[in-house]
Amino acid sequence: MEFGKHLAAFPSPIPGLTVWDLPVHGDSRGWFKENWQREKMIAMGLPDFGPVQNNVSFNDAIGTTRGIHAEPWDKWVSVATGRVFGAWVDLRDGPTFGTVFTAELDPSRAVFVPRGVGNAYQTLEEDTAYSYLVNDHWSSDAHYTFLNLEDETAAIAWPIALDRAAVSAKDRRHPRLAAVIPVARRKILVVGGEGQLGHALRQALDARKDVEFADRQEFDVADESVLHARLWSDYEVIINAAAYTAVDLAETPDGRREAWATNVQGVAHLVRIAAMNDLTLVHVSSDYVFDGETDRPYREDDPVSPLGVYGQTKAAGDILVGTVPKHYVVRASWVIGDGRNFVRTMVDLAQRGVAPKVVNDQVGRLTFTEDLATGILHLVETGAPFGVYNLTGAGDPRSWAEIARMVFSLAGGDANRVTPVSTTEYYREAQGPVAPRPRSSELDLSKIEATGYSPVDFDRRLGQAVARWCGEV
């Protein structure tokens, strides 16, 4: 063991597996070290893996060898006394499957082992003890993946030959690499898979084996049973595309209750799941969290000031999601996708020769669900900094009336048949409740652009959508 090392991390050929030098301070009485120090190590790149259990393995004889196991959790392994030879084999599905790395560990050297990487240890001194922190509780239901210690492909150069080592009979029976089923990636769960955004995410992700979609009938976020609806250690990301979006009905007693149940209580359930299981939570929000009274595009850090019940519930949900260490709140405006929506309605009216009245004092940008899905996946897959992001189409903001006129022209109708009116005039004869709407819904896109994402001009998407829906009539 070496005294006086500086805390340092070293990468390995196995992605995510890092070896760490630990400062050990000693004198005639013995030695002391900080075995795991969250703040310092996270600052130097160690994942904030959230350990929940600490285990110790004591080995009284030289050559005790514990065979290559890949567990469904991350591990921080360090030696308390003695020395071990460590061997790690990447058993995860992907291009590095089968990659091998070996190193000696003593009290001044530790290793972080990601989920799915097989790890084995052979003691090099008597009375060797090593400990490991793990970020999930041991369970008899946990699925392990194993590799034979003598696998010829891995060809691990054990310091003590395995025929002279202490190895359990079970470890000697494990399969060779050719027979190992790779450890699958942790999964993505899309909640609200039946909605407009859910359909767009399905189109973008449906071919992937590591993605699941859940509709409300199967997975009602407002029901507390969702807390135990999955083995959450098998998941990495939850994308919450579920929401109560009936803006006007939310102003009624029944609608208010349902909006709060889905948009707040349901989100609280997802927050608990994500926080307790170290998951990334992606939550889709709305321009309705603002009152629309600004004279510039809204930034992510602007204070919320919702006007109606729907906006209030979305703002409350945003605040809840912000308590999750790994979160993306994605705020969109004027969402357009498959199903009933404003643009499709205008296409239908244009083709039937109807002359609608459309409000001209609400201004914003359209967000097409295909772009919303692409932007969400960009944040997740590039590992963008966690936080709140605005995500809409690019281009000059327009009023609903201007967009309606564009749709009429694109659909072969007469744009002059669209009559611009004020919001007050439009809802003057409304039958039923009317929710207040933001006057300006323009969102600043500079933060998401800084991550490398380029929003698509919504005029171009509008032309594509109108052409598609005209062909369906």
1: confidence class by pLDDT, cuts 50, 70, 90: low
Give CATH 3.40.50.720 domain extents, the chain. 187-472
Q: Which of 329, 204, 213 is closest to 274 using CA atoms?
A: 329
Q: Token match 């050719």: residue?
A: 178
Percent of the chain scoring above 90 in pLDDT? 86
Q: What is the pLDDT of residues 450-470, one digit of tens each?
A: 999 999 999 999 999 999 998
Asked whether the predicted pLDDT for residue 320 surpasses 60, the reply is yes
Give CATH 2.60.120.10 domain extents, the chain. 8-179
Asked whether the predicted pLDDT for residue 397 surpasses 70, the reply is yes
429: confidence class by pLDDT, cuts 50, 70, 90: confident
Which residue is catalytic, options 132, 288, 310, 389? Answer: 132
Strands (E), 192-245: 211-214, 235-240
Instruction: Provide the pLDDT for residue 240.
Output: 97
Per-residue pLDDT averaged across 240-268, rounded? 96
CA distances from 208 to 185, 232, 337, 415 (A): 11, 19, 22, 43
Q: Residue type at 49?
A: F
CA angle centred on 370, ends 367 and 375, rounded to 5°: 80
Full-model pTM: 0.84
Asked whether the predicted pLDDT for residue 185 surpasses 80, the reply is yes
> Looking at domain 187-472, which CATH architecture does it have?
3-Layer(aba) Sandwich (3.40)
Q: What is the pLDDT of residues 285-312, one digit of tens each?
A: 999 999 999 999 999 999 999 999 999 9
Contact 223, 173 (CB under 8 A): no
- Of the two residues 432 and 370, the one the predictor is more confident about is 370
Chain mean pLDDT for the chain:
94
Beta bridge partners of 358: 420
- Residue 426 among the catalytic residues: no
Alpha carbon distance 466, 453 (integer Å): 25
**Homologous superfamily in CATH for domain 8-179:** Jelly Rolls (2.60.120.10)
- Residue 144 among the catalytic residues: no
Q: Residue type at 148?
A: N
Cα(first)–Cα(last) distance of the chain, in Å?
77
Per-residue pLDDT averaged across 229-255, rounded? 93
